[in-house]
Every structure is written in C-alpha cells, then in structure tokens.
Amino acid sequence: MRILIGSLHFYFISFFFSRANGFLTLRTPAAYAFPFYNYSYLNLSSVSEAQAPKTARALNFSHNIIEKISKRDLEGFDALEVLDLSHNRIKNIEPGAFESLLSLVSVNLSFNHKELLASGLPPYLKLLPTSKASGSLQLYKYFDKSSEGALEPPASAEELPHSGGPSVLQNVNPRLRRSTEHLLRRAEKNVTVSPEATSRSNFCGAPINGTLDLSNSKLSEEELTLKLDPDLCQAQLEGILELDISHSDLEMDLLSLFVLVLPMKNVQSIDASYNKLTINILDVEAICNFPFSKLLFLNISNNPINSLDTLCLPSTIKVIDLSFTNLSQIPQNFAKKMINLENMYVQGNHFIYTVRPEIGNGVSKFPPGTVHINAISFVRNEAGTPIQSLPQKVRHLKMSNCSIVELPEWFAGTMEELLFLDLSSNRISVLPDLPTSLQHLDISNSDIKIIPPSFKSVSNLTVFNIQNNKIMDMHPEYFPLTLTKCDISKNKLNMLSLTDALEKLEYLNVSGNLITRLEPASHLSALANLDSSHNLISELPDHFGKSLPMLKYFNLSGNKISFLQRGALPASLIELDISDNAITTIVEDTFGQLTSLSVLTVQGKHFFCNCDLYWFVNVYIRNPHLQINGKGNLRCSFPPDRRGSLVESSNLTLLHCSLGIQMAITACVAILVVLVLTGLCWRFDGLWYMRMGWYWCMAKRKQYEKRPENKPFDAFISYSEQDAKWTKENLLEKLETDGFKICYHERDFKPGHPVLGNIFYCIENSHKVLFVLSPSFVNSCWCQYELYFAEHRVLNENQDSLIMIVLEDLPPNSVPQKFSKLRKLLKRKTYLKWSPEEHKQKMFWHQLAAVLKTTNEPLVRAENGSAQDMYEME
C-alpha cells in the first residue's frame, strides 16, 4: 500500500510540471466509426442551409460565409459534441442558441468577426477572446498556475524501489494492480523517449480540434493505456481538450482511468458513459489531490459504479453525470469531495431508504410471530436517508426516477444556490420544503395530492411542473407570485379557479383533468398560453375571455364543450385548438371577434350542417389570413340525410340561409302578385266584385231572421240617378195615383241606417221589384247591387218577382261583363218597353198595373213559360 500511495504521489507531481497546448483541425479518425459531417468550403450562409443529420456528433462548417447563429439553426442536435464554426463572418449569436446542445463539449469560433460575442454556451464551456496568434477561441483555465509555482516532489517519490512492485500488489484489484504496475514501470524510465518507443508513436490517439474521440471503439484497458502513453504520445496528449471514450465497453475502475488522464494537462471534458467502469475499491481520499486545473465536465453515466464511498475525482469538476449508475445513496463525504460542483445528474438510480434502530439500555424482547415496526418514516431518521450530502454550490440538480420518497430535512436550508430541481418520476407523496432560490421545479409523475400553503415561500419560482399526480384542488393563492409557467395536467382537478394571484402566469396546462367549470377572476394580465385539453369542460363562461386579455395560445381539445358563447374567447388569441369536442356550430358572434387569430385547429363529427354553419363554411374557412387545420375532416351529424358527410360539401347558399334576402324576395313576390291581381281586377272589374261581396256580407248580417208575411209595399223601384226625373214624374206618380204603394228610396229609406240595409229592407218588404233599364242603369253600381239582391231573393223564395222596364234600348255590347246577371235576365225574362208615343203609353200603363196586381209565380213555372215573349207597345 505504501508503494501504491508513493507511486500516485510521484505520478501526480511529475505530470504537473509538464505542459501541453495546441488546437488541431477537425478530422475523423479512420480507425473508429464516428458520425462526422464536413460542410466546409460550400459558401453556406447559415447552418440550417446544410440540412445536416440531427444524429451528427461532429459538424464542420468552417470556411463558409455564415454571419449569424440562431436557435433554430442548432435545434435537434442532441448528440452533437464537436462544432467547428471557424473562418466565417459570424458577428451575432442569438442568446441561448447553444442551450439545447446538452452533449456539446467543443466549439471553435476562431477567425470570425472581431466584434463576435459568444453567449449562451453550456455551463461547462467557457471561451476566451480570439488570440492574435492562432485565431482560436480556447476554454477557460480554472487554475492558471505556472509550472514554476508547482509543488515540489516529495522525498518519498525519490525513494521508490525499482522492483518488487507486483509482489506487493498481489491482494489488490487486478485492474488497479495492472494500472499501478504500469505506473511503477513508467516511473523507472528516463524522461527521454527511446528510438524504439518513437517507432511505436503511431498507436497514439490523435486529437482533432482538441477532441480525442475514442467512442464506440471497443478498446480494452491495455489498448487505451497504449494510446494514452505519456512517454510515446506526449505531444498528442498535450493537445487534448475533450476526451470521449463512451460506448466502448471499457472495463476498469475510475481511479485507473484518471491515472491515465493525468498527462492531459489541458483536458476540460471527459465522456466515459456507457462503459463498464466501477468504483475503486481502495479509499485513497488522503491522497486524492489531482493536479488538474481545467477539468470541468465528467460524464460517467450508464456504468456499474454502484457506490460513491471511495470516489476520487478532481475537485474542479462543475458538471457531473451519474445517471443510471446503480447508486443507492449519496454518501456523507460526497459534498466535501465535489465542492465546486454546479450541475449534478443522478437520474435513473435507485435510492434505498434504510432503518437503523436506536440502541437503548434495555433490549425489548417480543414473542415469536410478532412484527415490530420501530420507525414509521424512512426519511426523518438521519441515518436512514440515502441523500446524506450534496454540494452547496449545486445550481442544477436532476434526480428523476430515483425512488425518492422525501427530501432530507436539511435540503431546503443547505441548497441555498439551487435554481433547477427535477424530482419527476419518484414516490413523493407530500410536496417537500424547498429552498427559496429555486426557479424551476419538476415533480411530475409522483403521488402528491395537495399543494400546501407553504409552497408560496418559494418566492423565486418561475416554472412549476406537477403533471400526472393526484391533485384534487388547486388554490392559486398558495402559488408563488413569480410563477410564469405551470403544468398541472393529468391530475384530478374538478374545478379551475383563476385569481389575480397568477397575474404573471404566461403558460398554464390543465389538460387531462376532470374540470367541469372554470372560475376566472377579474384578469390575468400576462397569461399567454393556456392548455386545458383532455378535460370534461362542458361550457366556458361568457366572461372567460375578458379574464385572459393576454392569452395567445389556447388548447381546448379533447373536452366536452358543446358551445362557445360570445366573449368566451379572448380577442388576443393567435392559436386556438378546439378539436375533438362536442361543438355543433361555429358562429360569427364568437369567432368573428378573434381578429388576431392565425391558426385554428378544429376536428369533430358533431356539426349541425344547417344555416347556423353558413358563416363558417362560406366566409371563415376562406379567410386568406387564417390557417384552419383539420377543416377537411369535419363531419355533419345533422340533419339525418347529411350525417357523416363533409362539412365543406354542405350546400349552404346565401339564398337558403339569409333571412333578410328571403324576406326581400318574399316582399318582391308579394308586391308583384298584388300588382298582377290589381291589374286583373282593374281589367275584369275585380274591385267591383270585391265591394259587391263585402256589401252582400253586410246585408246578410243585417237581414231579418223572419221575413214579413204581409209586405207593406207593392213594388220597389230600382233606377239610376240619370233616370230619376222620369221615374219620379211618370212612373212613381202614375202608380201611386192608381193606388199602388211604391217604395221610393229618396222617400222611404230610413235615415241613419246603412244604404245596403235600406236596399235589402225595401226589396224584402216589396211584392215586386221594378228595374228601370237604361244605359245609365248599366253604369250604376248601386243599381247592380239592387239587381243582385233582388235576384238573391228570387232564389231564396223561389218566386219570380222581378219586372223589367226598358226605358232606353240597350245594345248587346253596351252591357259590361260585370252585369252578367242582367244579360241572363234580359234573355229569359219578359220585360215592358217604354215608348214616347202616347197611344203606346196607355198600353204600357195597363200592362204594368196588371203585372203588379198578379201574385208571384214559382220560379220553375216562370222559366218553363214563354221566356222569349216581349210586350211592346207599338
């Protein structure tokens, strides 16, 4: 053991005096499969123009005309480790452009614009300004000690024996023994390399652009030792900045590996992931003092490390990846060994909680078969927590999928600089106490049921991910006021209450819950992204949009929303997803106000293909400024004959759906019909017939229920006003002189009664009705009414009581069409004709008096008689 310790001291100190520098051109070693792509000398103006494969681990874009590096250029290159951007015109690098390159270990920005400022690099990459000599951007030196100020070698190193090493190390681990024996043999050699050794220098690993890539090489420990031999490969080792031996199935312990790395004085990054590295068995903590001053990054993930108790690593490391290394705990001395650690990744391990019972004075004995539980909490017991220490300077800590039940009590008070914490996919059931400096917290895929009021004390938190837990109630007043992004999806929320406590919230995801009601407060001024998909929301309140005035992205897909009321959506929306809901129509009142909307995603098969959907099908879907995703898959569910058909093919025309146009067309048709009817009435005396019908109805309403048996008048005279003089002076005077009682309208109509009522009364109360026919009679409407009523009486009483007196001849064509009854009467009735000759007048008066004295004969008998007879006084 004394020989081993002395050898390590000697080797550390001897290589501490050595120097190495240089920056090589990026080339791929021919001996190893390495995804490298060369795009130099292609006149490329941007990185994205090359369309490089996203699986590339090394990219050469040197000697092009690139002027700017943006985030979009470097998205998706998750495996990229080496990037050469030298000999371009780069002046501007977008902040955060390199943040997505988690595997990046080398960037060459030499020979670009003199005003170039590199920012947003991964925390383990620090770049110095461009040197005038080489034009290269080099990594920072964390310990810039000169060789003259190095430690002097101890005396024990000079007294090491030159033989006997192997016999002393017989009980040591074989791999460690081989490494130590190799060190001892090299310690005996002179510093000058022999000519024989020079002939074997072609086995050395040659770095490219400062990177020695031995990944996927399947090297053994002996082969690796040969490639890193400091006696044969001193020039190559001095130029190594990044060492990649990942995916090589390398079997050795960590201490032996770092002994091989000692000659690499300028190494800054080591990737030894996906191998078979183990922890060293011997505890060398007393001499674990590496001379490295620049090593910042170490990736030993996916190795069977199993334990960190005897870990011996350089304390300069700022980033370490211990993921999937079968760790069961973080020991107490880990924080002391890694005092400068800032980023720590331990996800995918299985932390074991143990119980160590307290030893008392008396030991209780229990009968056989008794189960005794001496501790309920596996965490509160300091001896039982697997997380016994963590470096206080850690800012980024990822412990997902580590079977963590709860954080230790000292965590919140010790980790005062912690900014990022990932506790996802663990077994945490209670939200732990957290440091106030925390800005990003991911505790998804756990068993948390409530968010306690103490959570508000994390006053700097901006990102909170608690998806896929068992949260049943959300109290915004318990959340930090600084919160800008919150993912609480896939929980058991049944109500979402949004208050002013979340006024800085920009992104909110509540999808996959059981929310049936949203209760927004007055405003959430900064909310820019709300994802509430896969809920059971049945309806959004009409004032919901007013509560989210700054909302830009809204995902409502996968819910049970049937209708979106006016004002339910904020006018500031840019993207909206309402697919897979129960929405039946998209109306202008709701979506017409979304003037800023540029992308609408809508899918479903519940649409009512009626006129309510006309605006969407014929106007909204054709908006050139709006991109509608899924419009070709929308299906109708109503009416039944359209069920299953595409909404786009619905024949919803403006004539069919516009009520205003329908009313206008109806009004035009009605006006046209009225005009046609008016013309026809004017042509065929329709107005007269209408008035006749109206007067007849009025007369029928006024008629007596029982006709008088003894009629007071012998005759009623119907004449026109032009024939009034002859009627009054000749006809009326002669008949009354002969003793007949005549009903004369100027005398016998009752004042104050309707004219039709008087006409009807006189006809009903007269035995005979005399009609004085002349051309003026034909032109009189009242005469026609009297003739119509008299004819109606004849039909009702079945008695012929009409007497026709022709005062003037009536030519056949002089009788209008409306006097159809008069035409018929003149053809079948016997009439008396007045003559101006006196001797014929005597016969006229005699015949008229005789007719008035006769009784009314039945209508049938009168018609069967000589209807064509005519009495005419010659």
Which of 130, 161, 193 corresponds to the end of one domain? 130
Kindly state the average pLDDT of the residues 477-501.
Answer: 83
Task: Answer yes or no: is pLDDT of 614 > 70.
Answer: yes
Kindly state the average pLDDT of the residues 554-582.
Answer: 76
DSSP 727: I
Q: Both 692 and 743 in a single domain?
A: no
Q: Both 754 and 795 in a single domain?
A: yes
Kindly state the average pLDDT of the residues 302-316.
Answer: 91
3-state SS string for 779-799: CCHHHHHHHHHHHHHHHHHCE
Run of H or E including 235: helix 234-238
Rounded CA gap, 461 and 451, in Å? 14
Q: Both 72 and 112 in a single domain?
A: yes
Q: Both 685 and 761 in a single domain?
A: no
Which residue reads 């016997």 in tokens?
830
Here the contacts of 460-469 (C-beta below 8 Å, separation 24 or greater) are 460/436, 463/439, 465/424, 465/441, 466/491, 467/491, 467/509, 467/512, 468/444, 469/443, 469/444, 469/445
Residue 63 CA: distances (Å) to CA of 45, 117, 212, 242: 11, 19, 22, 23
| 815 within some domain | yes
Rounded CA gap, 94 and 98, in Å? 9
Structural tokens at position 59: 């990219």
Rounded CA gap, 695 and 786, in Å? 11
Position 15 scores a pLDDT of: 37
Number of domains in the chain: 3
Q: Both 692 and 718 in a single domain?
A: no
Q: Both 795 and 680 in a single domain?
A: no
Which of 110, 130, 150 corresponds to the end of one domain? 130
Which of 98, 130, 162 corresponds to the end of one domain? 130
Kindly state the average pLDDT of the residues 738-765.
Answer: 83
Position 532 scores a pLDDT of: 65
| 800 within some domain | yes
Lowest mean pLDDT across 505-519, 546-560, 593-607, 716-730: 546-560
Run of H or E including 212: strand 211-213
What's the length of the chain? 874
Q: Both 664 and 731 in a single domain?
A: no
- Average pLDDT over the chain, rounded to whole? 75
Check whether the bond before 639 is cis (ω within 30° of 0).
yes
User: What is the Cα 483 distance to its own chain's centre?
Assistant: 22
Task: Answer yes or no: is pLDDT of 418 > 50.
Answer: yes
**Percentage of residues in the chain with pLDDT exceeding 90?**
22
Closest alpha carbon to 68 in 44, 92, 87: 92
Q: Which domain holds residue 117?
A: 32-130
Q: Both 722 and 842 in a single domain?
A: yes
| 868 within some domain | no
| 255 within some domain | no
CB-hemisphere CA count at 13 Å for 648?
A: 10
Rounded CA gap, 258 and 263, in Å? 10
| 156 within some domain | no
pLDDT-derived band at 284, boundaries 50, 70, 90: confident
Q: Both 729 and 792 in a single domain?
A: yes
Position 447 scores a pLDDT of: 93
Task: Answer yes or no: is pLDDT of 212 > 90.
Answer: yes
- Looking at 44-143, which runs of residues are DSSP E strands? 58-60, 68-69, 82-84, 92-93, 106-108
Angle between helices 686-702 and 659-683 (to 10 degrees): 90
Task: Answer yes or no: is pLDDT of 800 > 90.
Answer: no
Bigger pLDDT: 819 vs 741: 741
| 214 within some domain | no
| 514 within some domain | no
Q: Both 64 and 102 in a single domain?
A: yes
| 615 within some domain | no
Which residue reads 């299953």 in tokens?
644
Position 195 scores a pLDDT of: 43
Q: Both 114 and 70 in a single domain?
A: yes
Are the C-beta atoms of residues 585 and 612 closer than 8 Å to each other? yes
Task: Answer yes or no: is pLDDT of 870 > 60.
Answer: no
Sign of CA dihedral 866, 870, 871, 874: negative
- Most confident among 116-130, 136-150, 392-406, 744-758 (mean pLDDT): 392-406
The three-class DSSP label of residue 361 is coil
Please, which residues have CB within 8 angstroms of residue 707's CB and are 6 or more apart in sequence? 764, 797
Q: Both 123 and 81 in a single domain?
A: yes
